[in-house]
C-alpha cells in the first residue's frame, strides 16, 4: 500500500503546474548562465545557484504535500485508506525525493552535457577562496558526480524541512515561506562574524549546503565533506521525525 500511495503522490506532484515551473525556471537560468559565461571552466557557476534558487523551487512543491491536502479538504478522505498516518508521510517523502532527484538530475544534464557542448572539453578552472585551481579534464566527471550527490542531499534537507512545516499547516503558503525564512535566517547567522554564533554555525544545515564545492578543491578535503554529509543526514532524520510525530497527532475533524 505504501508504494501504491507513493505512486499516487508522485502523480499528484506531476499534475501540479508549479512542478513544471521549477523545471522551466531551472532550465532557463542555467541556459542563460551557460551561454552568457561562454568561457573555459565556467560550468562551475551552475552549481552555485544551489544556495539561492533551487531550495525555493524544491520548497514550492514539497511544502504543499501535507498542507495542500488539508487546504483542499481531502485529508480525511486520504486517511480512510488502509494506510497509517506515518506511511502517508513516508509516501509523500519518497515522492518528494523522486521529484528532487529529477530536478538535480536535470541540472546535472544541463551543466555537463549542454555545458560541454557550449564550452567544449578541457580542464576545469575553478576560482575559490584559495585562489585559482585548475583541475584535469579526466577528473571532471567524478568530481561533478559526487558534488551533485551531496547537492541532492542538501536539497533533500530542504524538502524534509518543508514537509515538516507542512505537517503543522493547513495552507500551502505557510510552509513555503517558513522554509525560506529559516534558510535566510540561518544563512545570515552563518555569515555574521560574531563570536556568540561560533558554536552554533557548525550545526546549522545551511553551513553544509555548499559542501559540494569541496569536490572542486585540490586535494579534496574528504573529512570535512563526510562531516557535512553526516550533519545533513541528521537534519533529514530530525525533520522527518518531526513531520511524522506532528501528522500522527494532527486533528482532521475540524
pLDDT, position 40: 45
Give the model confidence (pLDDT) of 121-151 as tens digits: 665 666 566 666 666 777 778 888 898 899 9
Give the model confidence (pLDDT) of 18-50 as tens digits: 788 778 877 877 777 766 665 544 445 545 555
Distance separating alpha carbons of residues 224 and 10, to the nearest angstrom: 34
Residues in the chain: 254
Helix spans in the chain (H): 2-15, 17-36, 44-47, 54-62, 67-72, 75-78, 85-109, 115-119, 140-168, 173-191, 205-208, 222-248
Closest CA to 152 of 214, 227, 66, 232: 232
Distance separating alpha carbons of residues 128 and 214, to the nearest angstrom: 10
pLDDT, position 42: 47
pLDDT, position 120: 65
In Å, how far from its chain's centre is CA 216?
20
pLDDT, position 144: 83
Intervals of the chain under pLDDT 70: 1, 34-53, 115-116, 118-135, 252-254
- Helix, strand or coil, per DSSP, at residue 29: helix
> Given the C-alpha cell 538530475, which residue does it identify?
105
Instruction: Please state the pTM of the whole predicted model.
Output: 0.85
Closest CA to 60 of 148, 176, 143, 233: 176
Distance separating alpha carbons of residues 209 and 41, to the nearest angstrom: 22
Amino acid at each position: 500500500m505504501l508504494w501504491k500511495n507513493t505512486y499516487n503522490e508522485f502523480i499528484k506532484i506531476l499534475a501540479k503546474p508549479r512542478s513544471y515551473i521549477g523545471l522551466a525556471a531551472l532550465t532557463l537560468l542555467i541556459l542563460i548562465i551557460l551561454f552568457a559565461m561562454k568561457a573555459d571552466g565556467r560550468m562551475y557557476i551552475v552549481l552555485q545557484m544551489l544556495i539561492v534558487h533551487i531550495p525555493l523551487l524544491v520548497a514550492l512543491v514539497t511544502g504543499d504535500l501535507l498542507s495542500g491536502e488539508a487546504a483542499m479538504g481531502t485529508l480525511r478522505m486520504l486517511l480512510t485508506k488502509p494506510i497509517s498516518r506515518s506511511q502517508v508521510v513516508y509516501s509523500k517523502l519518497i515522492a518528494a525525493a523522486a521529484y528532487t532527484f529529477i530536478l538535480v538530475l536535470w541540472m546535472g544534464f544541463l551543466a555537463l552535457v549542454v555545458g560541454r557542448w557550449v564550452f567544449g572539453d578541457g580542464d576545469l578552472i575553478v576560482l575559490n577562496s584559495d585562489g585559482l585551481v585548475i583541475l584535469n579534464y579526466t577528473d571532471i566527471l567524478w568530481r561533478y558526480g559526487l558534488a551533485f550527490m551531496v547537492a541532492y542531499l542538501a536539497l533533500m534537507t530542504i524538502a524534509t524541512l518543508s514537509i515538516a512545516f507542512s505537517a503543522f499547516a493547513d495552507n500551502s503558503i505557510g510552509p513555503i515561506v517558513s522554509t525560506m525564512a529559516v534558510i535566510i535566517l540561518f544563512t545570515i547567522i552563518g555569515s555574521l562574524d560574531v563570536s556568540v554564533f561560533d558554536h552554533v554555525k557548525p550545526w546549522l544545515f545551511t553551513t553544509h549546503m555548499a559542501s559540494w564545492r569541496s569536490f572542486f578543491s585540490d586535494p579534496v578535503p574528504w573529512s570535512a565533506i563526510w562531516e557535512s554529509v553526516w550533519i545533513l543526514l541528521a537534519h533529514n532524520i530530525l525533520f522527518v521525525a518531526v513531520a511524522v510525530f506532528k501528522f500522527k497527532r494532527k486533528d482532521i475533524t475540524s
